């Protein structure tokens, strides 16, 4: 039984353990498809970004000033022009996604899992990692720095910290994780310790309740993967100490993905929830987000990951068309999403909103605007993403099927 | 007799009924070597098996769910959990939109009485027909027929409809018994009293059990265990651990607190430290802020340590202050301080508002500044975030679960002028939230005193909806009468709210669930969802057993006048904490008992304290030598901990990175502690009391084995004979590392010196590789399941 199946069994009931793996087993890095999700935490204002309206809705620009790059219109603000000019050929933009809710928790669940109900459905990144780590030794298959990170008991969640701390874990036999520092333990002693652990594991008590057997196996399985951890340091950028907090998240995540210790990572840029002083606060946040996305793409390119990596960028929802108290904007149950990666044709926009930022109906077979059609929902998008990423069957098999049909986003 | 509270009697009787009676399970027979999971090699541990009335009767492992379900179980597992609770309860509850109809359901809250009442309500409508002899009312209403106020909720081709239909048909041909019902506890074996004592001591007393405590359980068995637990709960660590556990629920340590937000109008001396020169000013500011941020946890700790009823979490007429926050609130001189410069010394105090015509009496944690600050109000949520937190924390109601899935908020906003009040999709939650939000009216968004914002043009402050016998009357036209916040309680509205909550049976249930989670290290089970499979059937049985036990624990809680200690003791002595083995070997038994027993990965805080208790020193890294597992910037978050702000859920299932931390901790602590041990006088040592390094350079096997016996007990709680197979593994490890080390030393392959990471005082060199060989043994033990899980 692999770790994924094992965790699932632990969550749902029966546990039947297969023969234990051996500590002498050489851990192999993961080298399959990758997924990076970037979350604008708090609810972004798409009308100041990728679904521009101007005049009545946006104090900082008029409708006539809206600009475009290829098929994409964007608000003529801040760093938008540079971003869209550079990336529009690579991006698929979805506008007018009906979130059905304007509450943070529910919307985050909906947009990142495709399911509005609270039924333990994992996030896309967790499902992706669970599927792809099967049979792999990746010690941190699903990395998350925050936001909606439910795993559905399919895969362990890993939180990462600062690079120095991570180094000390990877090179755990050395003080501070620095190669030329003093040793805590010699290599041959570690070999003997591994052998003793194996002997102890083999002599585990029989007749234990399933929870104890499951936890023992989890512990032992994770211990097998530890030697891979030190590989990530090889792929950290030299300019690490100059990175901001968002870039540091991304750099560390991408180093882990490159090192084969993980399959997916969820990072975020926070503080988009501008209920007051919206225009003053939200623009800088969007610039931070665009800088983070740009850094991620640049860094992934340097690491030669772009051919393997899908990138999904979105938020819980958008902001209200009107300004509220103290110049703020509240939650608005419409959303947009940016998608990039292998097999995704860019310079396309699917979906739209009306002048009041209300999602317009689509013919879900042609994806053309059609008043007689239906609104695009997160469930449609996730069904398509699952199909595109090869997760549909896995989702069904693990009890996390989606109730909505796929739509041809990637056709 | 309660089934789960007296675990000894219950499990023992199950064993006796099973006819095995091997006597090897150590249920208080006074034999320290028997019954311990740790003391017996697996094959020599007597089975409690035989022909139990449980697993052996279940027979096959066909992968199919049991075909026989009693009507009650069918209702509970299928109809209630899958349909009524998820589709109907939000409106058809005593606080829901359909509260005035005849179909009012109760959240089961862990007691079978609620489930029975719900089944009765179901039968009531399942046996009534209105104009259609084929379909009873229970099938027609949710389709939107018969003027159902909520419109269509399910469709005729849905699984929900099929469940309701089958339950209705079952009334014509009842199934009241099934021959193959499994017994949840039959054949389950508890860990030894010693093992329970050790785990409890490390978890709740932050220490190992003393020699006299161990002697008492060895001599008296179970009888002494409860007494010692009670004694340990009187130690400071217990209340500290309880407060730490409740912080995982309330998360008040994570408040982004800015003291200036409280304003000096209410508390003129709030910023008293501004008069100080630097650096004293900065230090005082930090200590004052800590005094306010930690006041919520300090309140929990005080309630527990002073044996106050835990209802005081909502009703206490005081808050907690440290010497610094006491100055801010001008109560410093009212308190006798042991050390007026100690920011960790907290005392109860009653705060007064300068110049205010009316006081705002304390209401436990509800109007504790840090709780108000952690769950802030905004101009748009107008205290609803606080109301949501109140419902979740104290009544166990997650209001977000009520949110309808298929609503169209954009259409609702367009259709209704006041959707929050008038649109059923919105009112379904706001009906419960807004009245409570209104009760927080006396506090502003950042916790300062009133006037604070309240929801306007919505549901007024109150707790009960006045009777209304017609569910078709629009919400906006309903009247509120007796349940309104009494005018006389305007200024102690939160205390009034607390009184209502404590009188609600859900309060006790919710508190017991929190306590259960603290003791076991994981939340209570939720009812499974999805189609019935062998696994979900097992999960339902586990859920049922746990709910039954929680109901018993709740009775203990209420009968003891809301004593946390009484509940903790009951849980710790129950199979849910102590079960370790089963005699069954079937998928059905595994599915049913997948969550039974402790076996929880320790939190970083628990691991830190365990290391401290066993080794007398913590995991510390160069150059800061801080308690690295406790530092957020180091390993606390990475090892699954929370910061109560961004990271609010602990990681219970470890990942490879956490396994790496376990290895780092083992490397570091084992290396440092062996040399520290031998640098101390023998009488002060914890691990190597009667031996010296020179003892181990030869081949004195007995001496090594005797030392290993001590280490196995101290480090991982195993009480073994010198010739135990587990000692053999450790003995081989020690000798192989020592001998290989000696060879490496001889050929210059390793350093004679221990170096900075591992040296201590006079122990600088390791000429015989004995220090490092013992470190290898400790290292190995520290990576074991027995060390890392509790």
Phi, psi angles (nearest 5°) of residue A309? -115, 130
Residue A22: count of CB within 10 angstroms of its CB? 13
- With 70 as the cut, is the pLDDT of residue B673 above it? yes
In chain B, what percentage of residues exceed pLDDT 90?
58
Q: Which of A162, A222, A330 sits opposite B658 (nearest CB)?
A: A222
- With 70 as the cut, is the pLDDT of residue B40 above it? no
The average pLDDT across A259-283 equals: 95
Bridge partners of A348?
A92
Which pLDDT score is estimated for B19?
Answer: 30
The whole-angstrom separation of Cα B775 and Cα B687 is 11
The average pLDDT across B37-47 equals: 30
Q: Which of B590, B744, B788 sits opposite A14 (nearest CB)?
A: B590
The average pLDDT across B4-10 equals: 50
Contact A263, A142 (CB under 8 A): yes
Residues B255-296: tens digit of each pLDDT: 878 898 888 888 999 999 999 999 999 999 999 999 999 999
The average pLDDT across B73-96 equals: 85
Instruction: State the DSSP H helix or E strand holding residue B151, giving kind and residue range, or none if neither.
Output: none
Does the CB of A119 have a partner CB in chain B at under 8 Å? Answer: yes
Domain boundaries of chain B, sorted by first residue: 71-170, 237-349, 394-493, 604-788
Q: Which of B585, B646, B757 sits opposite A183 (nearest CB)?
A: B757
Alpha carbon of B144: minimum distance to chain A alpha carbons (Å): 22
Say yes or no for a CB contact (<8 Å) between A103 and B780. Answer: no
Partners of residue B620 in chain A, C-beta under 8 Å: none
Partners of residue A12 in chain B, C-beta under 8 Å: 528, 535-536, 539, 594
Name the pLDDT band for B352 (thresholds 50, 70, 90).
confident
Residues A9-25: tens digit of each pLDDT: 444 333 333 334 455 55
3-state helix, strand, coil in chain A (%, to 5): 40, 15, 45
Contact A153, A48 (CB under 8 A): no
Q: Which of A156, A161, A185 sits opposite B779 (nearest CB)?
A: A185
- With 60 as the cut, is the pLDDT of residue B463 above it? no
- For residue B760, give the 3-state DSSP assignment: strand
The whole-angstrom separation of Cα B173 and Cα A290 is 65
Does the CB of B507 have a partner CB in chain A at under 8 Å? Answer: no
DSSP state string for B353-382:
-TT-SS----BTBTT-HHHHHHT---TTTT
Residue B111 sits at the vertex; the CA angle it makes with B106 and B114, to the nearest 5 degrees, is 25
Which pLDDT score is estimated for B413?
Answer: 84
- Nearest-Cα residue of chain B relative to residue A118: B401
Which of B35-49, B558-572, B742-756 shows the lowest per-residue confidence on average (mean pLDDT)? B35-49
Measured CA to CA in angstroms, residue B199 lies from A408, B191, B466, B600, B786 at distances of 56, 11, 50, 11, 10
Q: Which has more confidence, A23 or B611?
A: B611
Which pLDDT score is estimated for A313?
Answer: 98
Bridge partners of B449?
B443
The whole-angstrom separation of Cα A65 and Cα A82 is 16
The whole-angstrom separation of Cα B101 and Cα B240 is 47
- Beta sheet of A348-350, edge-to-edge order: A157-158, A142-144, A264-269, A34-40, A309-315, A334-340, A92-98, A348-350
The whole-angstrom separation of Cα B779 and Cα B790 is 18
Question: ipTM for the complex?
Answer: 0.89
Which pLDDT score is estimated for A35?
Answer: 98
Residues A362-411: tens digit of each pLDDT: 999 999 999 999 999 999 999 999 999 999 999 999 989 998 999 999 98
Residues 662-691 of B with CB under 8 A from A: 662-664, 667-668, 670-671
Residues A56-77: tens digit of each pLDDT: 899 999 999 999 999 999 999 9
- Nearest-Cα residue of chain B relative to residue A225: B656
Q: At a CB cut-off of 8 Å and minimum separation 6, what does B354 contact? A: B265, B266, B267, B268
Partners of residue A225 in chain B, C-beta under 8 Å: 656, 659
Does the CB of A403 have a partner CB in chain B at under 8 Å? Answer: no
Q: At a CB cut-off of 8 Å and minimum separation 6, what does B732 contact? A: A196, A199
Which pLDDT score is estimated for A58?
Answer: 94
Which of A343-352, B345-354, B603-612 shows the lowest per-residue confidence on average (mean pLDDT)? B345-354
| Burial (0-12, 13-18, 19+ Cβ within 10 Å), A177 | buried
Name the pLDDT band for B48 (thresholds 50, 70, 90).
very low
Indicate the average pLDDT of chain A.
90
Which pLDDT score is estimated for B223?
Answer: 92
Does the CB of A225 have a partner CB in chain B at under 8 Å? Answer: yes
The whole-angstrom separation of Cα B780 and Cα A360 is 62
Partners of residue B580 in chain A, C-beta under 8 Å: 208-209, 212
Instruction: Kindly compute the dihedral angle of the four CA atoms of residues A290, A294, A297, A301, in this order, to the nearest 10 degrees.
Output: 180
The whole-angstrom separation of Cα A138 and Cα A232 is 12
Does the CB of A316 have a partner CB in chain B at under 8 Å? Answer: no
Partners of residue B583 in chain A, C-beta under 8 Å: 207
Alpha carbon of A299: minimum distance to chain B alpha carbons (Å): 23
Which of B185-189, B344-348, B609-613, B772-776 shows the lowest per-residue confidence on average (mean pLDDT)? B185-189
Q: Going from the N-terminus, what domains does chain A have, and what CATH number goes with each?
A: 3-344 (3.40.720)
User: Which parts of B463-546 are beta strand (E)?
Assistant: none
Contacts A–B by Cβ distance under 8 A: 274
Which of A266-270, B45-49, B588-592, B644-648 has the highest mean predicted lDDT (pLDDT)?
A266-270
Say yes or no for a CB contact (<8 Å) between A193 and B654. Answer: no
């Amino acid at each position: 039984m692999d770790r994924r199946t094992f965790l699932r069994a632990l969550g749902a009931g029966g546990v039947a353990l297969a023969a234990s793996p051996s500590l002498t087993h050489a851990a192999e890095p993961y080298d399959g498809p990758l997924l990076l999700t970037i979350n604008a935490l708090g609810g972004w204002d798409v009308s100041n970004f990728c679904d521009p309206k101007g005049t009545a809705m946006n104090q900082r620009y008029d409708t006539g000033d809206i600009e475009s790059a290829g098929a994409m219109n964007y608000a003529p603000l801040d760093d938008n022009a540079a971003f869209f000019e550079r990336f529009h050929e690579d991006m698929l933009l979805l506008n007018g996604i009906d979130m059905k809710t304007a509450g943070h928790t529910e919307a985050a669940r909906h947009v990142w899992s495709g399911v509005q109900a609270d039924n333990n459905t994992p996030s896309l990144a967790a499902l992706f990692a669970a599927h792809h780590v099967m049979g792999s030794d990746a010690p941190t298959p699903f990395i998350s720095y925050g936001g909606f990170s439910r795993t559905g008991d399919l895969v362990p969640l890993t939180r990462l910290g600062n690079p120095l701390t991570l180094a000390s874990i990877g090179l755990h036999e050395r003080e501070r994780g620095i190669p030329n520092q003093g040793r805590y333990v010699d290599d041959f002693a570690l070999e003997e310790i591994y052998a003793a652990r194996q002997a102890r594991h083999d002599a585990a008590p029989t007749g234990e309740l399933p929870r104890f057997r499951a936890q023992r196996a989890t512990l032992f399985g994770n211990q097998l993967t530890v030697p891979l951890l030190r590989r990530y340091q090889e792929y950290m950028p030299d300019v690490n100490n100059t990175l901001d907090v968002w870039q540091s998240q991304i750099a560390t995540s991408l180093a882990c993905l490159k090192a084969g210790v993980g399959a997916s990572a969820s990072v975020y840029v926070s503080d988009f929830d501008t209920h007051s002083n919206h225009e003053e606060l939200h623009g800088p946040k969007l610039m931070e987000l665009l800088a983070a996305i740009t850094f991620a793409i640049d860094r992934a390119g340097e690491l030669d990951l772009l051919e393997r990596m899908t990138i999904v960028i979105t938020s819980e929802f958008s902001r209200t068309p009107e300004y509220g108290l103290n110049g703020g904007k509240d939650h608005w149950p419409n959303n947009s999403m940016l998608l990039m990666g292998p097999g995704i044709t860019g310079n396309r926009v699917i979906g739209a909103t009306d002048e009041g930022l209300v999602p317009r109906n689509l013919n879900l077979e042609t994806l053309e605007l059609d008043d007689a059609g239906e609104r695009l929902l997160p469930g449609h998008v996730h069904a398509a993403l699952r199909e595109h990423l090869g997760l549909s069957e896995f989702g069904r098999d693990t009890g996390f099927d989606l109730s909505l049909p796929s739509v041809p986003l990637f056709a | 007799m309660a089934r789960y509270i007296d675990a000894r009697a219950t499990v023992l009787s199950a064993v006796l009924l099973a006819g095995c009676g091997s006597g090897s399970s150590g249920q208080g027979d006074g034999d320290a070597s028997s019954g311990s999971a740790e003391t017996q090699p697996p094959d020599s541990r007597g089975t409690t098996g035989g022909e139990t009335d449980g697993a052996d009767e279940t027979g096959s492992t066909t992968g199919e769910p049991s075909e026989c379900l009693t009507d009650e179980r069918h209702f509970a597992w299928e109809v209630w959990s899958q349909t009524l609770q998820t589709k109907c309860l939000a409106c058809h509850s005593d606080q829901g939109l359909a509260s005035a109809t005849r179909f009012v359901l109760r959240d089961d809250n862990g007691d079978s009485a609620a489930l029975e009442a719900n089944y009765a309500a179901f039968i009531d409508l399942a046996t009534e027909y209105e104009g259609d002899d084929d379909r009873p009312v229970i099938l027609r209403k949710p389709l939107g027929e018969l003027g159902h106020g909520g419109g269509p909720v399910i469709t005729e081709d849905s699984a929900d409809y099929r469940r309701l239909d089958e339950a209705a048909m079952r009334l014509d041909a009842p199934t009241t018994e099934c021959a193959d019902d499994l017994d949840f506890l039959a054949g389950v074996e508890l860990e030894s009293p010693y093992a329970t004592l050790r785990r409890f001591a490390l978890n709740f007393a932050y220490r190992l059990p003393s020699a006299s405590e161990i002697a008492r359980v060895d001599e008296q068995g179970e009888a002494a265990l409860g007494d010692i637990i009670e004694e340990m709960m009187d130690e400071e660590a217990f209340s500290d651990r309880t407060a730490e556990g409740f912080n995982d629920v309330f998360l008040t340590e994570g408040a982004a607190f800015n003291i200036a937000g409280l304003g000096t109008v209410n508390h003129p001396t709030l910023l008293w430290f501004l008069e100080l020169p630097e650096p004293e000013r900065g230090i005082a500011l930090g200590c004052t802020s800590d005094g306010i941020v930690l006041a919520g946890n300090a309140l929990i700790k005080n309630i527990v340590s002073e044996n106050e009823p835990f209802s005081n979490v909502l009703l206490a007429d005081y808050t907690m202050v440290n010497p610094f926050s006491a100055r801010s609130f001008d109560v410093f001189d009212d308190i006798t301080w042991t050390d007026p410069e100690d920011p960790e010394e907290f005392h109860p105090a009653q705060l007064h508002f300068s110049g205010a015509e009316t006081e705002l009496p304390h209401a436990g944690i509800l109007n504790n500044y840090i709780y108000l600050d952690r769950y802030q109000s905004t101009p748009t949520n107008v205290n609803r975030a606080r109301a949501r937190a109140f419902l979740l924390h104290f009544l166990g109601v997650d209001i977000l679960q009520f949110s309808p899935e298929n609503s169209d908020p954009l259409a609702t906003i367009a259709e209704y002028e006041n959707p929050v009040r008038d649109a059923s999709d919105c009112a379904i939650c706001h009906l419960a939230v807004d009245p409570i939000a209104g009760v927080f009216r006396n506090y502003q968004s950042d916790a300062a005193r009133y006037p604070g914002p309240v929801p306007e043009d919505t549901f007024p402050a109150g707790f009960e909806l006045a009777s209304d016998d017609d569910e078709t009357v629009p919400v906006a036209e309903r009247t509120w009468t007796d349940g309104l916040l009494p005018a006389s309680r305007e200024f102690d509205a939160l205390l009034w709210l607390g009184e209502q909550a404590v009188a609600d049976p859900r309060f006790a249930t919710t508190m017991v669930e929190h306590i259960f989670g603290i003791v076991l290290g994981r939340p209570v089970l939720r009812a499974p969802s999805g189609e019935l499979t062998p696994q979900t059937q097992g999960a339902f049985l586990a859920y049922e057993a746990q709910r039954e036990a929680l109901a018993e624990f709740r009775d203990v809680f209420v009968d003891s006048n809301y004593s946390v200690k009484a509940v903790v003791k009951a849980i710790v002595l129950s199979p849910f904490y102590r079960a370790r083995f089963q005699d069954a070997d079937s998928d059905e038994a595994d599915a049913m008992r997948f969550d039974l027993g402790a076996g929880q990965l320790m939190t970083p805080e628990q691991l830190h304290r365990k290391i401290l208790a066993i080794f007398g020193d913590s995991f510390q890294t160069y150059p800061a030598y801080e308690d690295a597992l406790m530092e957020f910037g180091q390993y606390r978050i990475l090892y699954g901990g929370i910061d109560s702000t961004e990271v609010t859920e602990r990681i219970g299932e470890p990942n490879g990175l956490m396994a790496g931390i376990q290895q780092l901790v083992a490397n570091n602590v084992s290396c440092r502690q062996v040399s520290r041990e031998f640098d101390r006088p023998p009488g002060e040592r914890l691990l190597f009391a009667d031996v010296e390094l020179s003892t181990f350079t030869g081949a004195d096997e007995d001496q090594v084995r005797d030392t290993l016996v001590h280490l196995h007990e101290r480090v991982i709680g195993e009480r073994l004979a010198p010739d135990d197979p587990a000692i053999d593994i450790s003995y081989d490890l020690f000798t192989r590392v020592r001998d290989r080390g000696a060879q490496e030393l001889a050929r210059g392959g390793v350093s004679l010196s221990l170096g900075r990471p591992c040296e201590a005082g006079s122990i600088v060199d390791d000429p015989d590789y004995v220090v490092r060989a013992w470190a290898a043994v400790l290292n190995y033990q520290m990576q074991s399941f027995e060390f890392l899980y509790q």
